[in-house]
Amino acid sequence: MASYDVIIIGSGPGGYVCAIRCAQLGLKTAVVEGRETLGGTCLNVGCIPSKALLHASHMLHEAEHNFAKMGLKGKSPSVDWKQMLAYKDDVIGQNTKGIEFLFKKNKIDWLKGWGSIPEAGKVKVGDDTHEAKNIIIASGSESSSLPGVEIDEKVVVTSTGALELPKVPKTMVVIGAGVIGLEMGSVYARLGTEVTVVEYLDAITPGMDGEVQKNFQKILKKQGINFVMGAAVQSVDALKTKAKVNYKLRKDDSEHQLDADVVLVATGRKPYVDGLGLDALGVEMTKRGQIKTDDHWQTNIKGVYAIGDAIEGPMLAHKAEDEGMAVACVLAGQHGHVNYGVIPGVIYTHPEVANVGETEENLKDQGRAYKVGKFSFMGNGRAKANFAGEGFVKILADKETDRILGAHIIGPMAGDLIHEICVAMEFGASAEDLALTCHAHPTYSEAVREAALACGDGPIHS
Ligand code: NAI
């Protein structure tokens, strides 16, 4: 039995970042993790491995479609799937070992096993019970399936199974046109799989700006992904090496079927809180099964905190990281702060999609007067040189004050470009502030400046 200032349950981006900050602030810290490696879903079976496969499949796309145009001739590469998975696993290993190194460097104890909280101030891991002045639950989330759909991680898979299929399937049905469905769907489409996405709603990527949704879907269709929209999946019949997806079209209730070698279920995620003993402890939960917390991420039980996917808010690694750093500050007697109004969201397809702040639809609903500054990547020299002219930057600013309210980007490096707008928003900047900032030429970021100029006297290159 050991005694700590803080014990964190879960070593994903929320938990490990929180642990490092706690240790840096002088708190004696331990992290409970039952997986064989640190890093949680994100590093082991989520953000990081999917980005490796997205990168590899994008390189194949470039070789197949653009190399010859640039005078790079030779046989197109073929897919060695085993090697691609080995590359992905190597990337995972480098990242998870990196966290282990950071734990050692910061003198953070890794309590190996699955943790539970028998009472406030105590964490049980296996047969050992440890004492902690404060406990932080950072247990993350798990895929939520559908009634009538049984996951076997072979033929009917979640994102976890989709990252280690034994071979590249000929056909794949993706249930759900959210972030996971589109990222993994586009990996396999580029590797030659015929991908069909079945989505309940009439638009892809729920909650995104409507113009981006439409444009993004058009681009994905052009890349060869099929969509069945307004379709509610009722059940999946899994055979040994194939599956049948049964769905109903919402407009007329007609029933249809789709066959596929693999079905990816990507219909959302839910908090992973099994086995923590929260019921017995009396921790209050929301109707959606999330842990309820106050403004300081404390649950209704004193000294028990929760962050990340297990609580309310967007299920994003960087939101969890920010909460982790903030709660560490709170425990060290400092002020912890997360600006939930400025949390970027990114879809790592090619082109990438990124957003921050309000959508046009939200602003209309709120009855706010706003203006739109838009600039197409077709007018950006760097993008044209790199075959990346698809997409646009759209900035929404207050009509009266010019203050930036939101931004939406489809295009090259959108996930990186969005951050200058995040910083601008954190400082309460106007679109003119961005427009008056010198941007290096030739860079993709000039498109951001042009969109900001479009909120005022107009862009130069359109
Ligand atoms: P999601 O909530 O983004 O999308 C699920 C989609 O499935 C929705 O469009 C929904 O309408 C549809 N759906 C639900 N039931 C259906 C049915 N019966 N038939 C047809 N369609 C149905 O969920 P997703 O993609 O699984 O992602 C889960 C979470 O993980 C999200 O919160 C996401 O933000 C996060 N994530 C973020 C990533 C990133 O930031 N790049 C990458 C991967 C996941």
pLDDT per position as a tens digit, 194-208: 999 999 999 999 999
How would residue 2 be classed by pLDDT, with cut points 50, 70 and 90? confident
- Ligand 1 site, residue 146, Cβ cutoff 6 A: yes
In this structure, the number of other CB atoms found within 10 A of the CB of residue 426 comes to 11
Q: Please check whether residues 308 and 395 belong to one and the same domain.
A: no
| 99 & 60 share domain | yes
132 shares its domain with 176: no
Last residue of a domain, one of 287, 307, 338: 338
Q: What's the average model confidence in pLDDT over 230-235?
A: 97
Q: Is residue 321 part of a domain?
A: yes
**Whole-angstrom Cα distance, residue 456 to residue 403?**
12
Q: Are residues 51 and 131 in the same domain?
A: yes
Radius of gyration of the chain (CA): 23
Tens of pLDDT, residues 335-367: 999 999 999 999 999 999 999 999 999 999 999
Centre of ligand 1 from the C-alpha of residue 310, in Å: 16
What is the Cα–Cα distance from 77 to 67, expressed in whole angstroms?
Answer: 11
Residue 144 Cα to ligand 1 midpoint, Å, equals 10
279 token code pair: 């019921």
Provide the pLDDT for residue 132.
98
State mean pLDDT over 417-426: 98
CATH number at residue 424: 3.30.390.30
Q: Pick the last residue of a domain from 305, 338, 371.
A: 338
> Does the beta carbon of 186 sit less than 6 angstroms from any atom of ligand 1?
no
**What is the mean predicted confidence (pLDDT) over 376-398?**
98
Report the domain count for the chain.
3
Phi, psi (rounded to 5 degrees) for 6: -140, 135
Closest atom of ligand 1 relative to the 345 alpha carbon? 40
Same domain, 390 and 349: yes
Mean pLDDT of the chain: 97
User: 42 CA distance to ligand 1 centroid (A)?
Assistant: 15
Ligand 1 neighbourhood includes 182 CB (under 6 angstroms): no
Looking at 301, 319, 338, the residue that finishes a domain is: 338
Asked whether residue 183 carries a pLDDT value surpassing 90, the answer given is yes
> Which pLDDT belongs to residue 459?
97
Q: Are residues 9 and 114 in the same domain?
A: yes
Please indicate whether residue 461 is annotated as part of the active site.
no
Ligand 1 proximity of 184 Cβ (cutoff 6 Å): no
**279 lies in the same domain as 169:** no
pLDDT in the model for residue 453: 98
pTM confidence score: 0.97
- The CA 378 to ligand 1 mean position distance, Å, reads 30
More confident residue, 279 or 241: 279
Instruction: Work out the pLDDT band at 328, boundaries 50, 70, 90.
Output: very high
Residue 460, in any domain of the structure: no
pLDDT tens string 145-159: 899 899 999 999 999
- The Å distance, Cα 178 to ligand 1 centre, comes to 4
From the list 176, 171, 185, 187, the residue with the least C-alpha distance to 261 is 171
* The ligand 1 atom nearest the CA atom of 198: 20
pLDDT at 240: 84
Pairing mode of beta strands 156-157, 29-33: unpaired
Q: Which of 296, 337, 441, 461 is catalytic?
A: 441
Q: Ligand 1 pocket check: which of 42, 180, 228, 257 to mutate, most ligand atoms within 8 Å of Cβ?
A: 180
Domain that holds residue 295: 3-143+270-338
* 309-325 mean pLDDT: 98
Residue 430 in any domain: the answer is: yes
- CATH number of the CATH domain containing 303: 3.50.50.60
Claim to verify: residue 118 and residue 16 sit in the same structural domain: yes
**In percent, how much of the chain has pLDDT > 90?**
98
The answer as to whether 233 is a domain residue is yes
Question: Does the beta carbon of 206 lie inside 6 Å of ligand 1?
Answer: yes
In angstroms, the Cα distances linking 334 to 9, 337, 427 are: 22, 10, 22
In a domain, 410, yes or no: yes
Instruction: Let me know whether 223 and 368 are in one domain.
Output: no
CA 16 / ligand 1 centre spacing (Å): 25
CB distance 17 to ligand 1 below 6 Å: no
Q: Is residue 37 part of a domain?
A: yes
**316 and 368 housed in the same domain:** no
Residue 400: pLDDT over 80: yes
Asked whether residue 317 is assigned to any structural domain, the reply reads yes
* 40 and 99 inside one domain: yes
From the alpha carbon of 205, which atom of ligand 1 is closest?
9
202 lies in some domain = yes
**369 plus 416 within the same structural domain:** yes
Q: How far apart are CA 21 and CA 318, in angstroms?
A: 15
**pLDDT-based confidence at residue 76 (cuts at 50, 70, 90):** confident
Residue 376 confidence (pLDDT): 98
